A and B are shown apart, each in its own frame.
Chain A
Amino acid sequence: MFTSNVHTQDIVELSVSAWFYRNKTIAGFDNPARSLYVAVRELVENSLDACEEIRILPEITVLLRNEEESSRVDLLNQGPENFELVVKDNGIGMKRDSIPLLLGKMLTGTKFSHRQSRGTFGLGGSLALLYGQVTTQKPIEIVTGQKGQPHGYSVKMRLDIENNRPVILEEDRVSKGADEHGTMITFSLQGDWLRSKRRIIDYFNQTGIIVPYASLFFETPDNEVYKYDRIIHSIPRPSVATKPHPRGIDVEMLKSMISTTRARSLKSFLTTSFQRVGDKKASEFLVFARLDPERVPDSLSMDELVRMMNSMEKFERFLPPSPNSLSPVGTEVLLAGIKRLSPEFVVFRQRPPNVYEGHPFIVETGVAYGGDLSAGAHIIRFANRIPLLYDERSDISHRVVRDLNLKNYGLRQEDPLTFIMHICSTKIPYKTVGKEYIADVDSVRREIELGFKECLRDLSERLRKRTKTQKYQKRESRLASYYRFIAEILKTATGREVQLERFHFEGGDNQ
């Protein structure tokens, strides 16, 4: 039997922003503590992207202030509070007209191309602002300027969730020098500083490691300042936008590519829309997929589209995807970054490019040892230069590290060891939408494992050498003490002052 309710239920169309807001947990906005962390992270990532895009050494300032004058009596019982978050960068800036679209609308962005960047969906920063507005009802302020422009803009806006559309409340021109560029975003949001503090500070610490060419400044609601001065002046080689690789394409994507292509035959569609597909490969593939090379791409039926996609997955003769679209950090920069942890030894390895499901990726691994590192094996993980802080135990690198036999390398579980893993890819194989840990993909796991093993071999070699020199020094100092003693005894026994000046203890043999 139908109940009357069924009949009275309205059919509601959710706007994109409304949908994302309702499902904000998938992007990490699931509780005030985590939301505060994710908001800071999304905005900082956007700023770093904005700087690296024009190969500018980033200068990023983050101010997080408690908006309420709360009497801080009972710290632990403190619930969520309202915060003001200011993130300022010296990046590329935005055009006046792009501001409301890029930041006021979900799924708009400039990073959809097949190249590596931190942002991908056109969602993160926008959702943070949306979350802030919903929890505090306060508008968002953006000040931005671009190089070569006579002035910048200041925009105050509100997001219209129901219609996924920004509403400008105020706007102004701001004066600036012709060479000045950058963006400052100010907005309010609900958060729980006490419960997110550790995570946010960890985030800055680790960003300081993976982006050592940036200067970061973070002022906390407790008025503490975390400052990370730039320690190296080179930015990693930028990635180049590339066309997609036929592997790893889904039907929707294929459809949208076909709808925009100007090619009039399948063969030319393949050679112009995909990377590393030449005439010969295209013909071979079309034979394999049992499709007519001269077909107009538009004319493919749904069945044929699916067949084409499946064939793309199965066809084994495509050249591997080009790693040009990737921007690994490079050992020089990694070495600079890890100095912030002051280890005694550190070894980094960049693995050669590899592929999973048609996406190229490069794994960079490092092992740091001793110095200021705390005892036991720790892992710090990065993906496309973003620190991954949650769900470490589910991460593939955790499993790899757990299965390493440290004894083989003359190391013990309790030794001060930090494993560093960076993976860059046009598509990071995150296990979940939360972007917090890397899934167990065979080729990725193999690269991480090989990388760590190479590092460990190198490290154990260095440790062995160090132990040897230590032994050598110990031996020297023991030798010296024996001979000083002998000289002393000879003096009392024979009255003779024995000069040891011409004596070189390094000259002896090792035993």
Chain B
Amino acid sequence: MSRSRTEIDSSEIIGLIDNVLNTVAETLEDGVFPEIGYYGASKKNVFYQEDAGYVSIDETPSFIDGRKVESAKTVASFVYGLSRFKEHLEQNMSMSLRDFYYMHKVKHVQDVLKIIDQNETNRLINLCERVIRHNGASVPREELGVVSSPKGTFYGDITISDMSKKRLNCTSAGEYGWFISSRPFDVKIHDINIDAAIFIEKEAMARNLIELEIPEDLRIGVGALFGQPGRNMRAWIRRLADEEIPILILVDMSPWSLRIFSTIKSNSIELANIRGLATPEAKLLGITTDDFWGKRGMLTEIEHSLESMTKSDLKCAQQNKNIPAISQDQLLSRQNEIMLKKKRKGELEAFKSFGLPLAELKGFYIKYLKTKSSDLDVKVI
């Protein structure tokens, strides 16, 4: 079953926007203050499920009451925002979050709305996503033509066509592979020749693996997350999971990296309304506390390379206890506890502290990846 969103035609979106605008117009003509209802990202509307991540249930609606001054401002921004989306969709143009912010600097708009902070317009887009719904789900901003700067690369033997309409193979799309589309749901996948995909927090290590030709040797795909993955990357991972490709995640051993993994796996409370961003099938490949401290740990030899956790690392780990997708996940909460106890953290660069000759390093990487994958029931050659 596909967990990705199904594609929506932009004319359909324009129709949805027109609907909302006309409803507002009619309300005003009736002399009634408009009221906009939506489901917010509150605890009442979002719950966590281990096999699905954060799930939004439309339980308690919130209302923007146009009788109130601040809310009227929101309604005004909302109507203005929709009018911008509509125009862009009609012209087949995309806009960035920053573009959208600058559209509020149009003189006659600024005079009325007086917006001085991009956070305000970002929140507005979030609101639009929640209000404009299609088949009972939020319409993501990408469908409204708002595209956040895409982030992340993917290297591996998969043939696709992206927005450029060109057919390309992700092993020959540049030195890190393919720069992941801002709209992965609209990407067509033609052909898949990998047995698993590994997504790595740090691009340096991903590059090393590509340079060592490990993707070819193991028939795997290698993605670089560039830190906390963007929406596009998460949607791409979801796409691959829909194609039944095992997803393995390789991140630092730190409380922050647990969050990275958990966002990939479970999405986030804030974006629970956006479908297709969670990949519950994703597995944490490494590097884990067991690698360093476990009986059969593969990195015990370089335990000395671990660094002390800083104050903010410890605080992060403490707060992780309140994040359902971490605290209610056995594996992640255990990792978090051990880190809190040991107060040490490890980074992917630790592999370099073996001091191995490059040929042997490649061997170790392969051994690590294979062993850890098979521990997770993922078979690579």
In whole angstroms, how far apart are the Cα atoms of A489 and B33 in the complex? 16
**Count of chain B residues with a beta carbon within 8 Å of a chain A beta carbon:** 28
* Residue A481 CB within 8 A of the other chain: yes
Does A478 lie within 8 Å of B72, measured CB to CB? yes
* Residue B187 CB within 8 A of the other chain: no
In whole angstroms, how far apart are the Cα atoms of A498 and B27 in the complex? 10
Does A507 lie within 8 Å of B30, measured CB to CB? no
Chain B proximity mask over A492-511: 1 for CB below 8 Å, otherwise 0: 11101011111110011101
Does B29 lie within 8 Å of A507, measured CB to CB? no
In whole angstroms, how far apart are the Cα atoms of A509 and B67 in the complex? 6
* Residue A479 CB within 8 A of the other chain: yes
Given A485-B76, A492-B83, A508-B33, A498-B25 contact (CB < 8 Å): yes
In whole angstroms, how far apart are the Cα atoms of A492 and B18 in the complex? 12
Chain A proximity mask over B1-35: 1 for CB below 8 Å, otherwise 0: 00000000000000000100110110011110100
Does A489 lie within 8 Å of B31, measured CB to CB? no
Does A490 lie within 8 Å of B68, measured CB to CB? no
In the bound complex, residues from chain A placing their C-beta under 8 Å from that of B47 are none
Does B21 lie within 8 Å of A482, measured CB to CB? no
Does B79 lie within 8 Å of A479, measured CB to CB? no
In whole angstroms, how far apart are the Cα atoms of A498 and B75 in the complex? 15
Does A502 lie within 8 Å of B69, measured CB to CB? no
* Residue B86 CB within 8 A of the other chain: yes
> CB within 8 A of B24: which of A486, A499, A508, A509?
A486
* Residue B82 CB within 8 A of the other chain: yes
In the bound complex, residues from chain A placing their C-beta under 8 Å from that of B80 are 485, 489
* Residue B73 CB within 8 A of the other chain: yes
Does B72 lie within 8 Å of A493, measured CB to CB? no
**Count of chain A residues with a beta carbon within 8 Å of a chain B beta carbon:** 26
* Residue B112 CB within 8 A of the other chain: yes
Does A479 lie within 8 Å of B21, measured CB to CB? no
Does A499 lie within 8 Å of B29, measured CB to CB? yes
B238 to chain A, nearest CB (A): 33
Does B28 lie within 8 Å of A498, measured CB to CB? yes
Does B28 lie within 8 Å of A483, measured CB to CB? yes
User: Which residue from chain A places its CB closest to the CB of B31 in the assembled complex?
Assistant: A502
Residue of B25, B28, B69 with most partner-chain A CB within 10 A:
B69
In whole angstroms, how far apart are the Cα atoms of A500 and B28 in the complex? 6
Does A511 lie within 8 Å of B70, measured CB to CB? yes
In whole angstroms, how far apart are the Cα atoms of A478 and B74 in the complex? 12
What total of A-B pairs shows CB separation below 8 Å?
76
Does A504 lie within 8 Å of B31, measured CB to CB? yes
Which residues 218-267 in A have Cβ within 8 Å of B in the complex?
Answer: none
Does A503 lie within 8 Å of B68, measured CB to CB? no
Does A490 lie within 8 Å of B24, measured CB to CB? yes
* Residue A487 CB within 8 A of the other chain: yes
In whole angstroms, how far apart are the Cα atoms of A511 and B65 in the complex? 11
In whole angstroms, how far apart are the Cα atoms of A503 and B25 in the complex? 12
In the bound complex, residues from chain A placing their C-beta under 8 Å from that of B79 are 486, 489-490, 493
A92 to chain B, nearest CB (A): 64
Does A503 lie within 8 Å of B28, measured CB to CB? yes
In whole angstroms, how far apart are the Cα atoms of A2 and B87 in the complex? 118
In the bound complex, residues from chain A placing their C-beta under 8 Å from that of B70 are 511
Does A503 lie within 8 Å of B76, measured CB to CB? no
In the bound complex, residues from chain B placing their C-beta under 8 Å from that of A499 are 29
In the bound complex, residues from chain B placing their C-beta under 8 Å from that of A111 are none
Does A490 lie within 8 Å of B69, measured CB to CB? no
> CB within 8 A of B29: which of A485, A492, A498, A509?
A498
* Residue A340 CB within 8 A of the other chain: no
B73 to chain A, nearest CB (A): 6
Does B22 lie within 8 Å of A496, measured CB to CB? yes
> CB within 8 A of A490: which of B25, B67, B113?
B25
Does B69 lie within 8 Å of A479, measured CB to CB? yes
In the bound complex, residues from chain B placing their C-beta under 8 Å from that of A496 are 22, 25
In the bound complex, residues from chain A placing their C-beta under 8 Å from that of B113 are 485
In the bound complex, residues from chain A placing their C-beta under 8 Å from that of B75 are 482, 486
In whole angstroms, how far apart are the Cα atoms of A490 and B75 in the complex? 12
In whole angstroms, how far apart are the Cα atoms of A74 and B33 in the complex? 73
Given A490-B24, A508-B68, A485-B33 contact (CB < 8 Å): no
Which residues 55-104 in B have Cβ within 8 Å of A in the complex?
Answer: 65, 67-70, 72-73, 75-76, 79-80, 82-83, 86-87
In the bound complex, residues from chain A placing their C-beta under 8 Å from that of B109 are 485
User: Which residue from chain A places its CB closest to the CB of B82 in the assembled complex?
Assistant: A493
A510 to chain B, nearest CB (A): 9
Given A478-B72, A496-B22, A511-B68, A487-B82 contact (CB < 8 Å): no
B37 to chain A, nearest CB (A): 17
B158 to chain A, nearest CB (A): 41
Does A482 lie within 8 Å of B28, measured CB to CB? no
In whole angstroms, how far apart are the Cα atoms of A496 and B113 in the complex? 22
A-B contacts besides A490-B83, A498-B25, 19 pairs, CB < 8 Å: A475-B69, A478-B69, A479-B69, A479-B72, A482-B75, A485-B80, A485-B113, A486-B28, A489-B76, A489-B79, A490-B25, A490-B79, A494-B18, A496-B22, A499-B29, A501-B31, A508-B68, A509-B67, A509-B68
21 A-B pairs whose Cβ atoms sit less than 8 Å apart in the complex: A475-B69, A478-B69, A479-B67, A479-B69, A485-B76, A485-B80, A489-B79, A489-B83, A493-B83, A494-B22, A494-B25, A499-B29, A500-B28, A501-B31, A502-B30, A504-B31, A507-B67, A508-B33, A509-B65, A509-B67, A511-B69
